[in-house]
């Protein structure tokens, strides 16, 4: 079992920045591809960013490319999402997720492909 706890969300004005953190316990994150998803009211959960086990490869949704950066520190069992130039449409609950990926280099983009989820952290961007 992997327990994931997100933090770092909150209110911010458009153009501002936030850094989300996701700390894992229970198992080492070295075995997992890590992803960030978000869900706005009335909308489906959508892919934001993901990073492979080693950190060598990552991907971001088109809507956040150039503004968001995912990174990880396996020694600290932590994944980060640096969010810059935030927009009101970025308002959502942000979830951290882990996909057991030992022996795989793929980056999953669907929520159903992830094995563990955090409880989420609210990000609210005002105009």
pLDDT band for 104, please (50, 70, 90 cuts).
confident
45 phi/psi in degrees, rounded to 5: -65, 135
Instruction: Give the Cα separation of 118 and 63 in Å (integer).
Output: 22
Q: Please report the pLDDT score of residue 105 as a whole number.
A: 78
Decide: helix, strand or coil at residue 62. Answer: coil
DSSP secondary structure code for residue 32 in this structure: E
Query: Looking at the predicted structure, is the pLDDT value of residue 41 above 90?
Result: yes
Mean pLDDT to the nearest integer, 88-107:
91
Give per-residue pLDDT as tens, 4-37: 999 999 999 999 999 999 999 998 899 999 999 9
Q: Please report the pLDDT score of residue 101 as a whole number.
A: 83
Of 28, 8, 114, 126, the residue nearest 68 (C-alpha): 8
Of 10, 15, 25, 35, the residue nearest 99 (C-alpha): 35
Q: Please report the pLDDT score of residue 60 as a whole number.
A: 98
């Amino acid at each position: 079992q992997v327990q994931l706890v997100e933090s770092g969300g909150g209110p911010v004005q458009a153009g501002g920045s936030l850094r989300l953190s996701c700390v894992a316990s229970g198992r080492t994150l070295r075995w997992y591809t890590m992803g960030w998803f978000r869900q706005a009211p009335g909308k489906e959960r959508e892919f934001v960013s993901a990073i492979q086990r080693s950190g060598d490869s990552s991907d971001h949704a088109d809507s956040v490319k150039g503004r968001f950066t995912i990174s990880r520190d396996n020694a600290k069992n932590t994944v980060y999402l640096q969010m810059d130039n935030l927009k009101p449409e970025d308002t959502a609950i942000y979830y951290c997720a882990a996909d057991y990926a030992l022996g795989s280099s793929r980056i999953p983009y669907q929520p159903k492909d992830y094995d563990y989820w955090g409880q989420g952290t609210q990000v609210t961007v005002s105009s």
